[in-house]
Amino acid sequence: MRWRLGYRGEVVFRFLLTRRWLGLLLAVVLLAFACVELGRWQFWRYAQRHDSNEAIRRNLAAAPVPVSQVMSTTEPVPDSAEWTKVVATGTYDPSHEVIVLYRTRQGSPGVDVVVPLVTPSGTALLVDRGWLGTVANGNVRPDVPAPPGGTVTVNGWVRINASGGSVTPSNGYVRAISSDAIKATLPYPVYDGFLDRTAESPPAARPLAAALAPDLSSGPSFFYGLQWWFFAVLAFGFYLYFAWTEYTSTSSPRGRAPAEVTARE
């Protein structure tokens, strides 16, 4: 590109070295850097979600295994084991039933019902038996159907404990499920984590809605990453546009000082 010389040999683009334009360039660089880093963070989240979904797909496709092969009373469930299909046999203990509030499905209010399943070893497994639609979500204790009596075989997905203050039971209610919090109210040892029931045999007289499979979509993180990188390019694009506008306004006869116009003519 050929540089055009202005009055007294000054380079027309010398305005880019003024304090105002250097400050603008610094602001653009910082903004673009922030956008690039935010984009990288979104791509990292996308990669994490992708890896997690692949592990979940493998667990969902595998054959069920005994609950004792995946869950323990002394160690937490590893992240890689969540959504593993397991099978357990035992007897439900409805006297220690826990209601999980504010569980909506397709916009309808409802609750989940958690009941300990006491296995032959004496260790209990917390089973989320399923969802029950309610009229007053949390205001009136729902009429929960009884679980099957006697020995029951339960199939389901292993889930990791929730955390936070919402897991502490209060009058038989919780907002999220955690065996760490619920086991303090039980008279027997408890497996870490809990089970989302998919089937039970024999079935209950009034069955609850079984657990739903997890959402394995990639989410919006990849496109958010592209958007942030586009914003970084856009920042430099605006800078170049404003610089070109400044250049054309100062290099045109209308934008030059009278002495400069006379010298060129």
Question: Which residues, at least 6 apart from 205, have a Cβ–Cβ distance to it below 8 Å?
Answer: 145, 146, 148
∠ CA 174-179-182, rounded to 5°? 50
Reply yes or no on whether the pLDDT at 82 is more than 90.
Answer: yes
Name the β-bridge partners of 170: 173
Same domain, 146 and 191: yes
Q: Are residues 13 and 96 in the same domain?
A: no
Tell me the sheet residues that pair with 112: 100, 131
Is residue 197 domain-shared with residue 90, that is, in the same domain? yes
Same domain membership, residue 226 and residue 194 = no
- Look at residue 11 in the predicted model and tell me its pLDDT: 56
Q: For the whole model, what pTM was predicted?
A: 0.74
Examine residue 18 and state whether it is found in any structural domain, yes or no. Answer: yes
Question: What is the chain's mean pLDDT, rounded?
Answer: 86
Measured N-to-C along each axis, helices 19-61 and 221-251 cross at an angle, to the nearest 10 degrees, of: 160
- Residue 58 to residues 34, 46, 64, 83, 194, Cα–Cα distance (Å): 36, 18, 12, 9, 19
Domain boundary among 151, 167, 201: 201
| Higher local confidence (pLDDT), 258 or 106 | 106
Q: Which helix (H) or strand (E) holds 92?
A: strand 85-92
Q: Please indicate, yes or no, whether residues 42 and 92 belong to a single structural domain of this protein.
A: no
pLDDT digits (tens, 9 = 90+) for 205-253: 999 999 888 888 888 888 999 999 999 999 989 888 888 888 787 665 5
52 within a domain of the structure (yes/no): no
Same structural domain, 106 and 182: yes
Check whether the bond before 109 is cis (ω within 30° of 0): no
- Which of 148, 167, 201 is the last residue before a domain boundary? 201
Residue ranges in the chain assigned as alpha helix (H): 19-61, 179-182, 221-251, 258-264
Q: Assess whether 102 and 174 both reside in one domain.
A: yes
Question: Does the residue 77 lie in any domain?
Answer: no
Q: What value does the mean pLDDT take over residues 65-75? A: 94
Instruction: Give the domain extent around 127.
Output: 84-201
The total number of structural domains that make up the chain: 2
